[in-house]
Amino acid sequence: MIVEIIDHRLVQAQQLSSENCDERPSGEVISLIVVHGISLPAGHFGTPYVEQLFCNRLDCDEHTDFADLVELKVSSHLFIRRSGEVLQFVPFDKRAWHAGVSSYNGRERCNDFAIGIELEGLDWRPYQQVQYQVLAEVCFALCQHSEIPDEAIVGHSDIAPGRKTDPGPSFVWQKLNGLIQELKGA
């Protein structure tokens, strides 16, 4: 897949609109990519619930796992399904609400300067090869587009330690980094 970004949107992604975003602070430069892991309910893949959550359409009475999500307003820029399909909820120039209370290199409020990418998965279940490939291609394109350094691709657990664990121990950072390096050499 050749990744193309036009008007702050990934051309290859299915575009869905989330209201859970706002303007970044004036003059803020995108300088971080945060990788997350999510499945709703936990361990169930291919459901419509993540999209419903990010678009404020989730019926929290539909499953007991959703009890903590009542009135929660969250989003992410991208969601990469286990099949490799990509959905975009928030344009890259807007602030998505994915990081929560967070800090990176001493800077608080990571949502202000980060792009959030959700992977359909669980901390303890291996992610799919196609997810790594798509994630690498997207990260490579975003790094070129926004001049994000390679070392500024981190997990949610890195910016919210003790509060968040995703993408978890099953995520193989060396695999992602190797694929990004291959793309640089291509």
| 67 dihedral zone (left: phi>0; alpha: psi -120 to 50; beta) | alpha
5-20+29-185 carries CATH number 3.40.80.10: yes
Contact indicator for 3, 82 with CB cutoff of 8 Å: no
Domain boundaries, the chain: 5-20+29-185
Q: Give bridge partners of residue 78 from the DSSP assignment.
A: 88, 117
Q: Is the peptide bond before 167 cis (omega within 30 degrees of 0)?
A: yes
pLDDT at 186 over 70: no
The model's pLDDT over 143-180, given as tens digits with 9 standing for 90+, comes to 998 989 989 999 999 999 999 999 999 999 999 999 99
- The catalytic site residues sit at 118
Between CA 83 and CA 164 the distance in angstroms is 25
Tell me what pLDDT residue 177 has. Answer: 97
